[in-house]
Amino acid sequence: MKDSTALYFDVRGLRYHVRHWQGDAGKRVVLLHGWMDVSASFQFLVDALRLDWDVYAPDWRGYGLTDWGKSDCYWFADYVADLDLLLERIQPEAPVNLAGHSLGGNVAALYAGVRPARVRRLVNLEGLGMAPTRAEQAPKRYGLWLDELRENSGFRPYAGYGALADRLQKNNPRLTRERAEFLARHWGRELPDGRVLLRGDPAHKIVNPLLYRYEEARACWNEVSAPVLWVDAAESDTLKRIGLDEAQYAERRAAFGNLRHVTVRDAGHMLHHDQPEQVARLMEEFLLA
């Protein structure tokens, strides 16, 4: 495996961890992980890159080795603001190649529309947006949020790293044992009694009281000027979970003016775990074009 180093930046009152796989500064890319994930999740993808890429990957606030947020909720706007400040540290003077998976893809797509001059090329891995909402859903959503704040339940600990690796393989049957054990040691931290707890703030489980406004997201996507590589997985259940049909999905892709759409075969939502070689090849060809 290619070695990485740990960088730390002060960002909006938080100590932010950024994983850095050092390479050619002329081939730089920033990778953004998804919900309940960590930056080390990109290790297999980085190892599959053929050229000497200079790769940065932050742990979002409340994940991995980055500080937890100073409130009991997490918001899309915070991720966008954190990214803006992180890019000032990583590549302040030139547009950056940006790639994100799932939550990270959604944040990257929003950011590329809000700060179009800061993004050279955008790779969106299974960041399809969220389920559309209606205004009349707001009262129940706020009520659910208030209920979940009172519950404030934490994560269930695992018997050890092996048990966490078992769970990862149960969630994704394509994940090899070697990769599952690697991920377990980055997703989890060992407690004094030997049990393992996820490295994440349980507040991430609390529903967001603010409805996802598709029209606002699309307005941001319309402003993206960078070429976009939109990658989904043939065996993913993301569309079903979001509740989109093919026409609605096509409408979302059409919001981007310069987009290439590719589907990776024999892969689920965690396509960078299932087919890192295919994803790396697609990314390199696109970023070097």
Q: What is the pLDDT of residue 154?
A: 87
Q: Among 11-20, 89-98, 152-161, 186-195, whose mean pLDDT is lowest?
A: 152-161
Task: Reply yes or no on whether the pLDDT at 270 is more than 90.
Answer: yes
Query: What span, in angstroms and rounded, lies between the C-alpha atoms of 47 and 50?
Result: 8
With the C-alpha atoms ordered 252, 204, 113, 258, is the resulting torsion angle positive or negative? negative
pLDDT class for 173, splitting at 50, 70, 90? very high
Sequence-distant (6+) residues with CB within 8 A of 138 are 211
147-172: pLDDT as tens digits: 999 987 789 999 999 999 999 999 99
63-81: pLDDT as tens digits: 999 999 988 889 899 999 9
Q: What is the pLDDT of residue 13?
A: 96
With the C-alpha atoms ordered 57, 75, 157, 127, is the resulting torsion angle positive or negative? negative
Q: CA of 26: how far to CAs of 40, 120, 199, in Å?
A: 22, 13, 33
Where do we find the tokens 């092996």? 162
Q: How many CB atoms lie within 10 A of CB 122?
A: 29
**Centroid of chain to Cα 250:** 22
3-state secondary structure of 26: strand
108-160: pLDDT as tens digits: 999 999 999 999 999 999 999 999 999 999 999 999 999 999 987 789 999 99
With the C-alpha atoms ordered 67, 84, 106, 147, is the resulting torsion angle positive or negative? positive
Q: What is the pLDDT of residue 153?
A: 77
Q: How many CB atoms lie within 10 A of CB 119?
A: 24
Q: What is the pLDDT of residue 184?
A: 98
Sequence-distant (6+) residues with CB within 8 A of 2 are 21, 43, 46, 47
Task: Reply yes or no on whether the pLDDT at 92 is more than 80.
Answer: yes
Q: Which two tokens stand for residue 36?
A: 């309940």
Query: What span, in angstroms and rounded, lies between the C-alpha atoms of 97 and 56?
Result: 10
Contacts of 166-172 spanning 24+ positions with Cβ under 8 A? 172/268, 172/270, 172/273, 172/274
Q: Shortest CA distance to 3 belongs to which of 71, 78, 55?
A: 55
Q: What is the pLDDT of residue 73?
A: 85
**Average of per-residue pLDDT values in the chain:** 96
* Proportion of the chain above pLDDT 90, given as a percent: 96
Give me the mean pLDDT over the 38-67 stretch. 98
* Element (DSSP H or E) covering residue 86: helix 76-90
Q: Shortest CA distance to 157 belongs to which of 214, 122, 198?
A: 198
Are 232 and 285 within 8 A, CB to CB?
A: no
pTM for the predicted model, two decimal places:
0.97
Q: Which two tokens stand for residue 39?
A: 């930056």
Give me the mean pLDDT over the 98-116 stretch. 98
Q: What is the pLDDT of residue 71?
A: 84
Query: What span, in angstroms and rounded, lies between the C-alpha atoms of 258 and 273?
Result: 27
* Domains of the chain: residue spans and CATH: 5-132+213-288 (3.40.50.1820)
pLDDT class for 219, splitting at 50, 70, 90? very high
Task: Reply yes or no on whether the pLDDT at 228 is more than 80.
Answer: yes
Q: What is the pLDDT of residue 151?
A: 86
